[in-house]
Amino acid sequence: MIKKISLLILISIFAGNAQVKNNTNNLYLLGQSYMRGAQYKDAKDIFEKIYKQQPANYQYFNSLNQAYLQLKMYKESVGLINIKLQKTPNDINLYGLLGATFYLSGDENKAFSIWDETLSDVKQNYVNYRIIANYAIERRAFEKAIDYLQAGKKISNDPKFFSFDLGNLYTLTMQFENAAREYCTILANNPKQLRVVESKILNYVGKPNALNTTIKVVKNWNENRNINFSFLLAKLYRENNEDEKAFEVYLKIEKEQNSNGRQLITFANALLTENKYTLASKVYNKIISDYKNSRYISSAKLGYIKSLGAELWEKIKKSSPAWKPYYKIRNNYPGKTEEVISTYMQLIKNYKLSEVGTEAFLRIGEINLKIKKNLVEAIFNFSNIINNYPTSRFIPDAFNLRGQAFIKNGEMEKASSNFNFMTNDRRISLPMKNAAKFQLAKINFYNGNFEKAVNLLNQIIKNKNDNSSNDALELSLLLYTTKSDSVHLLKFAEVDLLITQNNFDSAYFLLKKIYTDKSTFFVLKSIAKFRFAQIEIALDSLPNSLITLSEIIKDKKRNIFADKALFLKGKVYQFGLNDKNEAVKMYYELLTKFPNSIYVDKARKLIIKLKNKQ
Q: What are phi and psi of 451, to 5 degrees?
A: -65, -45
**pLDDT at res. 16:** 47
Tell me the pLDDT tens digit for each residue of 89-104: 888 899 888 888 888 8
The candidate with the shortest Cα–Cα distance to 388, out of 412, 355, 419, 420, is: 355
CA dihedral 574, 579, 585, 587 (to 10 degrees): 0
The answer to which of 35-44, 448-457, 507-516 has the lowest mean pLDDT is 35-44
Buried b (16+ CB within 10 A) or exposed e, 55-69: eeeeebbebbbbbbb
Residue 515, CB-side half-sphere exposure with 13 Å CA sphere: 20
In this prediction, residues 577-606 reach a mean pLDDT of 94
Does 522 have pLDDT greater than 80?
Answer: yes
Q: What percent of the chain has pLDDT over 90?
A: 58
Tell me the pLDDT tens digit for each residue of 29-52: 888 888 888 898 988 888 888 888
Measure the CA–CA gap between 418 and 39, rounded to whole angstroms.
Answer: 68
The answer to which of 123-132, 233-242, 554-563 has the lowest mean pLDDT is 554-563
In this prediction, residues 175-198 reach a mean pLDDT of 91
H helix or E strand, kind and range, residue 39: none
Measure the CA–CA gap between 440 and 407, rounded to whole angstroms.
Answer: 10
Measure the CA–CA gap between 404 and 415, rounded to whole angstroms.
Answer: 7
Residue 6, CB-side half-sphere exposure with 13 Å CA sphere: 3
Does 397 have pLDDT greater than 70?
Answer: yes
Domain map (residue ranges) of the chain = 158-241
Does 364 have pLDDT greater than 80?
Answer: yes
Q: What is the 3-state secondary structure (H, E, C) of 146-201?
A: HHHHHHHHHHCCCCHHHHHHHHHHHHHCCCHHHHHHHHHHHHHHCHHHHHHHHHHH
**pLDDT at res. 116:** 86
